[in-house]
Amino acid sequence: MLPRGRMAKAAVLVVAGLLLLLSSSPPPAAAAGRGGELRMKHSDGGYSYNRTLAHILVQYASAVYTSDLTSLFTWTCPRCQGDTKGFEMIEIIVDVENCLQAFVGVAPDPQSIIIAFRGTQEHSVSNWIEDLFWKQLDVTYPGMPDAMVHHGFYTAYYNTTMRHEILKSVRWARKTYGRLPINVVGHSMGGALASFCALDLSVKFGSQEVQLMTFGQPRVGNPAFAAYFSEQVPRTIRVTHQNDIVPHLPPYFCYLGQWTYHHFSREVWLHETIIGNVVTKNETICDGSGEDPTCSRSVYGRSVADHLEYYGVTLHADSRGTCQFVIAPTNTAYGSVLEVDRVIILARYPQEWHAVESI
């Protein structure tokens, strides 16, 4: 007989599985394809998916998981190689109390400001996924009476030091490097934070100045919020992978109208079809609904493994602790190192810049 704690957890997982079954469409038969060929299904209209850009931006979404802040700041960490060579860090923000991490910097290719948000630590992913099943739409998005979001996602960006520091870094970068476009990226919970950041920046700087690309992000709001988001941040790509469980959460129930969670567009679904010994890699560009039944919703998303890897790139923490990080005691690369209310800030700009009026 199982201990009570394990029985309770098993019961939660059973109920969670039933919710996924109710909120998902049945998987279709596997599509036929030619051996080893990359197949892409295109949709007309909207912002175009750039596969090369996706392969670059996913590396930033991976690098932000680095716990060695010194190697991350100097861009010498193991994940700071490849297509991101030449990236110049401006600021790293670590909110220890809320277990959040993000950075802002300038990339040579694509020539832009990069903002990256870290997702949930690997060892706590299972607990976080269980919690996603029960998140309620309990906050009205400011200025949009019908747009509802979950307060945990909303406050993680708007009510923490993250937003203040990111906006300040963007302002400094544009003052120093000129009016560069802005790419916002994030994986998992980091994708939810990246979404609110991109919306915030689009309202401030204009929708054509900001691009958003997320990997394995959960739903963050209801249909009214999704529609508002798509209007304000049209240059958005939301990448999903095979049977990744997180994009299926919190569950979507079409019959609940505005009282259900709903993804914004545009989804790109990475998946494989296997016929005999032939494996075909597919990148399906989905329709503009945000809930295309022929994309990730066509499968029962149950995989944590598919959540932790996109385009062959690892997307989870490199340390086992909940919010562990390492930082050298002194380093000339930092313009300033501040610790305020359990928030660590490493910045290139001098300390006096911290006193300037926020945006």
Query: How confident is the model at residue 308, as a pLDDT?
Result: 94
Can you spell out the DSSP letters for 113-151? Answer: EEEEE----GGGHHHHHHHHTT----EEPTT-TT-EE-H
- For 309, the token pair is 């890897």
Query: How confident is the model at residue 107, as a pLDDT?
Result: 97
Residue 270, strand partner residues: 241, 283
Question: Is residue 195 within 8 Å of 219, Cβ to Cβ?
Answer: no
CATH number for 51-347 (one of 3.40.640.10, 3.40.50.1820, 3.10.105.10, 2.60.40.10): it is 3.40.50.1820
Residue 285, strand partner residues: 268
Split at pLDDT 50, 70, 90, the class of 26 is: very low
Q: Is the dihedral of CA 286, 291, 292, 293 positive or negative?
A: positive
Query: How confident is the model at residue 321, as a pLDDT?
Result: 57
Mean pLDDT across 122-146: 79
Quote the pTM value. 0.86
241-270 pLDDT tens trace: 999 999 999 999 999 999 999 999 999 999
My answer on whether omega of the bond before 350 falls inside 30° of 0, hence cis, is no
Amino acid at 270: L
Split at pLDDT 50, 70, 90, the class of 131 is: confident
Query: How confident is the model at residue 122, as a pLDDT?
Result: 53
82-120 pLDDT tens trace: 999 999 999 999 988 888 899 999 999 999 999 999 987
- The rounded percent of the chain whose pLDDT value lies above 90 is 63
Query: How confident is the model at residue 330, as a pLDDT?
Result: 57
179-220 pLDDT tens trace: 999 999 999 999 999 999 999 999 999 999 999 999 999 999
Q: Where are the domains of the chain?
A: 51-347
Mean pLDDT across 329-338: 64
Residue 237, strand partner residues: 213
Residue 25, strand partner residues: none
Query: How confident is the model at residue 165, as a pLDDT?
Result: 94
Question: Is residue 235 within 8 Å of 243, Cβ to Cβ?
Answer: no
- Mean pLDDT lowest among 76-80, 127-131, 138-142, 150-154: 127-131
158 class by beta-carbon count within 10 Å (0-12 exposed, 13-18 middle, 19+ buried): middle
Amino acid at 186: G
Residue with tokens 């680095």, as numbered in its chain = 66
Amino acid at 359: I
Distance from C-alpha of 55 to C-alpha of 270, rounded to nearest angstrom: 12
Split at pLDDT 50, 70, 90, the class of 237 is: very high
**CA atoms in the 13 A half-sphere facing the CB of 264:** 31
Amino acid at 117: F
